């Protein structure tokens, strides 16, 4: 930290979530001696950055703080002497997400932002960019912390640590926040009276719940939430269909699944719902485009100087608040209990030490200290987790190397992509559709353009019908 105070840089500063971030800093002003907040974006995001940046300035002014809020398109310069760098960017903007969802769904295969073929393509587009950011950080701010909440958060965090070599990286997600609220509510207790122990990987983790006397309460929450006569699903995100897990199966696991496990445990139902959305032109990205447009209309109001309630319509609500708490906790050695994507180092003994896992622990001045989990007792959890982790590792390899065979391997391993001819067709079409954002696959894409006219026509037509 310079003598003037903390410098916090946000990459993807034009995101609609930025007001939540600013609100989080303002709420923690006593703990965060901020001198400058820098919001960085790319030229394509200029309009959004200008709108949300002006709003951030109004929020800081309304809070009577002297923090400097800088808007810039020069990432390298922005990173100079940063203490914390937060990442919330989306390579290819929302249009890329539309493709991640619609191309697979047009084949009757799940396409989702972080799951299935869509998640893999988001990783292919994003990992090279996080690695570039790290190269800049090595020069400009070698001691900074990197707080990543860019999706797919687990894989992006793993690439940052294992490929970029940036050990001071912490990955964040809002999913555990909702589940913790729901668990406490189901037991009629305060969150502080309970201990929630999470383990797994991003969007594929489970948790157990204990009271202060060390008694396990997980089974009670399973009964309350998943027994068909119980209180029903609570604490789920806005962005995915809230199908009810099968009670008997969850009882057998004796752990609470995360909301995203629905894509795996209720695969056919989730696919059916997503295909319905596709047919109605209402995949999540298409809906979010509308929500974003409305939010930015609100943000334009020169009188608006606080985070509007409408932001809770986005699935990622609370994300940014968690990022602010991580920063406050590092800065003040608060030992805040959180769920973070971090290097395994033996926390889950079923996975390699180098794997990035999402687990409970405390945030200290030295970083994140995970609570030991040990081995998963249930082979169903162990086996599926090991497969998913290996699939993620393979995806990262493909994202870095641009090797078509490795990408096809990742597609084949993904439980939501039927392996075989369809997987290959889908991979080729998605490569072509993402051409602009996948320089590492340029050779293969050239080949597709040369010889696979059918695939090209198919994608061009599909995108026109958006
Ligand atoms: C959840 C997930 C995030 C994801 C968000 C999407 O919160 O945990 O990883 O970014 O939903 O929300 P959206 O409103 O963009 O569909």
Find the 443 Cα to ligand 1 centroid distance in Å. 33
Find the 212 Cα to ligand 1 centroid distance in Å. 32
What is the distance, to the nearest Å, from the Cα of residue 381 to the centroid of all Cα atoms in its chain? 21
> Model confidence over 394-420: pLDDT tens digits?
999 999 999 999 999 999 999 999 999
Confidence of residue 313 (pLDDT cuts 50, 70, 90): confident
Question: Which atom, in ligand 1's list, is nearest to the CA of 239?
Answer: 16
Find the 139 Cα to ligand 1 centroid distance in Å. 32
Give the whole-angstrom CA distance, residue 204 versus residue 95.
26
Give yes or no for a contact between 278 and 260, defined as CB atoms under 8 angstroms apart. no
| Active site amino acids | 260
Give the whole-angstrom CA distance, residue 279 versus residue 281.
6
Helices marked H in 309-452: 319-332, 379-401, 404-413, 421-433, 442-451
> Model confidence over 68-81: pLDDT tens digits?
999 999 999 999 99
Tokens of 147: 């707080």
> Model confidence over 374-392: pLDDT tens digits?
999 999 999 999 999 999 9
User: 80, 19, 4: which is closest to 307 by C-alpha?
Assistant: 19
Query: Given ligand 1 and candidates 314, 320, 321, 322, which is best to mutate, with the most ligand atoms within 8 Å of its CB?
Result: 314
H/E segment holding residue 100: helix 93-106
Question: Which atom, in ligand 1's list, is nearest to the CA of 319?
Answer: 7
pLDDT for the residue 69? 98
pLDDT for the residue 232? 61
Burial 399-426 (b: 16+ CB within 10 A, else e): bbebebebbbbbbbbbbbbeeeeebeeb
Find the 240 Cα to ligand 1 centroid distance in Å. 9
Q: Please give the radius of gyration of the chain, using alpha carbons only, rounded to the nearest integer.
A: 22
Pocket of ligand 1 (CB under 6 A): 114, 151, 173-175, 237, 239, 284, 288, 314-316
Which residue minimizes the CA distance to atom 13 of ligand 1? Answer: 315
pLDDT for the residue 450? 94
> Model confidence over 46-95: pLDDT tens digits?
999 999 999 999 999 999 999 999 999 999 999 999 999 999 999 999 99
Residues facing 358 on adjacent strands: 341
Query: Given ligand 1 and candidates 98, 115, 205, 239, which is best to mutate, with the most ligand atoms within 8 Å of its CB?
Result: 239
Confidence of residue 312 (pLDDT cuts 50, 70, 90): confident
Confidence of residue 235 (pLDDT cuts 50, 70, 90): very low
Residue 231 pLDDT more than 60?
no
């Amino acid at each position: 930290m310079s003598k003037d105070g903390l410098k916090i840089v946000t990459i993807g500063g034009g995101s609609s979530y930025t007001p939540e971030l600013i609100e989080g800093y303002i709420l923690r002003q006593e703990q965060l001696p901020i001198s400058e907040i820098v919001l960085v974006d790319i030229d394509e995001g200029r309009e959004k950055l200008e709108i949300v940046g002006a709003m951030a300035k109004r929020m800081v002014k309304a809070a009577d703080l002297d923090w400097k809020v800088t808007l810039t398109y020069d990432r390298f310069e922005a990173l100079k002497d940063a203490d914390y760098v937060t990442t919330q960017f989306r390579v290819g903007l929302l249009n890329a997400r539309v493709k991640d969802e619609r191309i697979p769904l047009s084949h009757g295969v799940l396409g989702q932002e972080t799951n299935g073929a869509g998640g893999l393509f988001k990783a292919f587009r994003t990992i090279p960019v996080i690695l570039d950011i790290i190269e800049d950080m090595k020069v400009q701010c070698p001691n900074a912390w990197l707080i990543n909440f860019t999706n797919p958060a687990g894989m992006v965090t793993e690439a940052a640590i294992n490929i970029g070599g940036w050990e001071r990286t912490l990955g964040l997600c809002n999913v555990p926040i909702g589940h913790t609220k729901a668990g406490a509510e189901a037991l009629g207790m305060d969150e502080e009276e309970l201990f929630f122990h999470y383990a797994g990987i991003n969007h594929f983790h489970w948790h157990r719940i204990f009271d202060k006397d060390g008694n396990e309460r997980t089974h009670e929450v399973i009964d309350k939430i998943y027994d068909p006569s119980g209180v029903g699903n609570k604490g789920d995100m806005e962005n995915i269909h809230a199908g009810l897990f099968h009670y008997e199966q969850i009882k057998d696991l004796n752990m609470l699944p995360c909301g995203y496990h629905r894509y795996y445990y209720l695969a056919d139902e989730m696919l059916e719902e997503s295909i319905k959305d596709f047919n109605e032109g209402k995949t999540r990205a298409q809906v979010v485009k509308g929500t974003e447009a409305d939010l930015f209309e609100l943000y334009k109001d020169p009188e608006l100087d606080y985070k509007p309630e409408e932001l809770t319509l986005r699935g990622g609500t609370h994300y940014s608040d968690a990022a602010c708490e991580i920063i406050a906790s590092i800065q003040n050695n608060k030992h805040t209990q959180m769920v973070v994507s971090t290097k395994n180092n033996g926390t889950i003994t079923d996975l390699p030490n180098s794997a990035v896992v999402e687990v409970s622990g405390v945030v200290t001045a030295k970083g994140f200290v995970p609570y030991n989990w040990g081995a998963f007792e249930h082979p169903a959890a162990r086996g599926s987790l090991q497969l998913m982790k290996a699939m993620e590792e393979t995806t990262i390899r493909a994202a870095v190397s641009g090797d078509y065979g490795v990408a096809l391997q990742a597609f084949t391993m993904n439980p939501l992509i039927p392996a075989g001819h369809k997987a290959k067709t889908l991979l080729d079409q998605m490569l072509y559709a993402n051409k602009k954002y996948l320089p590492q696959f340029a050779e293969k894409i050239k080949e597709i353009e040369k010889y696979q006219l059918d695939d090209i026509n198919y994608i061009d037509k599909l995108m026109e019908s958006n």
